[in-house]
Amino acid sequence: MYSPWDDDHSGQNTQHQEAEWTKLSNDFTNAGYREGITAGKESALQEGFDTGYADVGAPIGRELGILRGMATVTLNLLDGQSKMLQNVPEDKDKLLAEARDISTQLSRIRFSDIMPPDLEAEAHAREHLQIQGEELDVHHDVQNKKDIETLEDRLENLNREEDSQFQGLRPTAESTKELRERLYTVIKRLGLGATFV
Amino acid sequence: MAGEFDLESLVHVEQTFYDTGFKDGFAHGRIHGLIEGRALGREKGFEMWEELGFYEGFAKTWRSMLLGSPQRQGSERIAQHINHLLELISKFPRTNPSSTSVTGDAGEELDISKLQRQIRSRYKVLCSCIGVRPRLQAISEGAGTNEEVDEIDQSGMDIDANITAGGSSIPVWKIDKATGRRSAVTNQDLNY
């Protein structure tokens, strides 16, 4: 077959030519790959964003937000900040303590505690780790938030040294469920239906 | 003649290599774009709806409270505020409108940040009616409170007009808007 590279027909330079050819191939393939990855990434960011927003972020955020809103009102009603409560229950102080605890625990929950793992992302990260020993890149904003949370954890643990029972324990999706049940119980005691949300 | 042919063929072969690389890179880039976009969208969706959910839970609990004591003084006014707030929240999209706007009604564009401002000030008005301190988030993020409250009070029942009127500003939040930096997508940031 005629090859444009083959103008020296002596065959002595074949090795050299082959190396040149490989280099040419690699250079252009790599350049294409680099630009392709950028273009591919940009083409998919919005789609990923919309999925993450609608399928995970918004519903989980709403659920936790509603609980926090409800907990705040029960606290408002019980601690007398608003004088709206008509039939004050006889064990008001006990209920108040319970509402405080629920409210505090709800406020401790972070999104990272309760969000489901992105399995596809984890699988892809493992692939990278196996092939190149690299870690997957994380977006600045997400990484910043992670760093801040790590710092918060350390501070919290410093403050908690005496009472090491909770050290390092993060809430889970299961604790959210428990807190919801406890909150509903308090709300029912206040004469409010818990099924209105 | 032969020289020209060589050159053309060379260009072609370079393009083929480039295209092959580009195609593979594009596929890989898409995976990364989806992953990174999902992570961002999750955070943003959580952030926005945690706040809105809070107002929703707050308003509905108070509404349930009022239903138990309808004769209370001022409760009618409070109930009105609650209904307004809940109505506004129900208009807030649970999906990013950018994905639906293609098929959706082109005439009805949502001004997200305006709606969010309205919800926040409506919530603060409700708080002062009830006599409780508003959540810190709503105070710190709503600058120029009085002005906004005025705006809301004037609009009154005419909330629909306000929401649909916003054609000038961007109706959806795009990725680069959400993060504030487009430079995130560069070769240097990518591992492959």
Please spell the DSSP secondary structure of A154-180, one letter per residue: HHHHHHTSS-GGGTTPPP-HHHHHHHH
Of the candidates A25, A6, A26, which has an alpha carbon nearest to the alpha carbon of residue B6? A6
pLDDT of residue B99: 53
Query: Six-digit token pair at B38?
Result: 């999902």
What's the Cα-to-Cα distance from B36 to each of A33, B27, B190, rounded to whole Å?
Answer: 19, 15, 11
Compute the count of residue pairs across chains A and B with CB atoms less than 8 Å apart.
325
Handedness of CA B94, B97, B98, B102 (dihedral sign): positive
Residue range A80-94: average pLDDT?
A: 74
Q: Is there a contact between B21 and A54 if contact means CB atoms under 8 Å apart? A: no
pLDDT of residue B185: 37
Which of B25, B30, B130 is facing A33, going by the closest CB pair? B25
What are the residues whose beta carbons fall under 8 Å from the beta carbon of B118, sequence distance 6 or more? Answer: B88, B148, B152, B159, B162
Indicate the helix (H) or strand (E) that contains B6.
Answer: helix B2-68
Handedness of CA A101, A107, A112, A117 (dihedral sign): positive
Distance in Å from the first CA to the final CA of chain B: 42
Residues of A numbered 150-179 whose beta carbons fall under 8 angstroms of chain B's beta carbons: which are they? none
Distance from CA of B114 to the nearest CA of A (A): 19
Distance in Å from the first CA to the final CA of chain A: 76
Residue pLDDT, tens place only, B44-91: 999 999 999 999 999 999 998 888 766 667 788 888 999 999 999 999
Indicate the helix (H) or strand (E) that contains A62.
Answer: helix A58-78
Residues of A numbered 51-110 whose beta carbons fall under 8 angstroms of chain B's beta carbons: which are they? 51-54, 56-70, 72-74, 76-77, 81-84, 86
Residue pLDDT, tens place only, A3-60: 555 555 555 678 888 888 889 889 999 999 999 999 999 999 999 999 999 999 999 9
**Residue of chain A whose Cα is closest to the Cα of B11:** A28
What's the Cα-to-Cα distance from B161 to each of B52, B95, B114, B156, B164, rounded to whole Å?
Answer: 21, 22, 12, 11, 5
Residues A34, B29: contact at Cβ < 8 Å?
A: no
Give the CA angle between residues B86, B128, A86 to the nearest 5°.
Answer: 85
pLDDT of residue A81: 61
pLDDT of residue A92: 83
Of the candidates B138, B178, B100, which has an alpha carbon nearest to the alpha carbon of residue A57? B178
pLDDT of residue B141: 57
Q: Which of residues A150 and A39 earns the better pLDDT score?
A: A39
Q: Is there a contact between A69 and B58 if contact means CB atoms under 8 Å apart? A: yes
Query: Is the CB of B61 inside 8 Å of chain A's CB atoms?
Result: yes
Length of chain B: 192
Distance from CA of B7 to the nearest CA of A (A): 9
* pTM confidence score: 0.73
pLDDT of residue A51: 94
Q: Is there a contact between B45 and A57 if contact means CB atoms under 8 Å apart? A: yes
**Residues B147, B154: Cα–Cα separation, whole Å:** 11
Residues of B numbered 109-148 whose beta carbons fall under 8 angstroms of chain A's beta carbons: which are they? 130-133, 135
Q: Strand, coil or helix: what is B151?
A: helix
Which of B5, B17, B54 is facing A29, going by the closest CB pair? B17
Which of B22, B37, B64 is facing A49, going by the closest CB pair? B37
Query: Is the CB of A128 inside 8 Å of chain B's CB atoms?
Result: yes
Burial class (CB in 10 A: 0-12, 13-18, 19+), B158: exposed
Residues A75, B58: contact at Cβ < 8 Å?
A: no
Q: Is there a contact between A46 and B72 if contact means CB atoms under 8 Å apart? A: no
Cβ neighbours of A132 in B, within 8 Å: 191
Query: Is the CB of B43 inside 8 Å of chain A's CB atoms?
Result: yes
Instruction: Give the residue carrying structure tokens 């029972």.
Output: A165
Residue range A168-188: average pLDDT?
A: 89
**Residues B127, B76: Cα–Cα separation, whole Å:** 15
Q: Is there a contact between A51 and B175 if contact means CB atoms under 8 Å apart? A: no
**What is the CA B185 to chain-centroid distance, rounded?**
21
Q: Is there a contact between A69 and B55 if contact means CB atoms under 8 Å apart? A: yes
CB atoms within 10 A of CB B185: 22
Of the candidates A27, A21, A171, which has an alpha carbon nearest to the alpha carbon of residue A110? A171
Q: Is there a contact between A65 and B54 if contact means CB atoms under 8 Å apart? A: yes
What DSSP designation does A2 have? -
Q: Which of residues A117 and B168 earns the better pLDDT score?
A: A117
Low-confidence ranges of chain B (pLDDT < 50): 1-3, 101-107, 142-172, 175-192
Q: Strand, coil or helix: what is A92?
A: helix
Of the candidates B178, B179, B161, which has an alpha carbon nearest to the alpha carbon of residue B170? B178
Residues B47, A65: contact at Cβ < 8 Å?
A: no
What's the Cα-to-Cα distance from B96 to each of A82, A136, A160, rounded to whole Å?
Answer: 37, 26, 40
Query: Six-digit token pair at A113?
Result: 């505690």
Which of A38, A40, A132 is facing B187, going by the closest CB pair? A38
Query: Six-digit token pair at B159?
Result: 């909330």
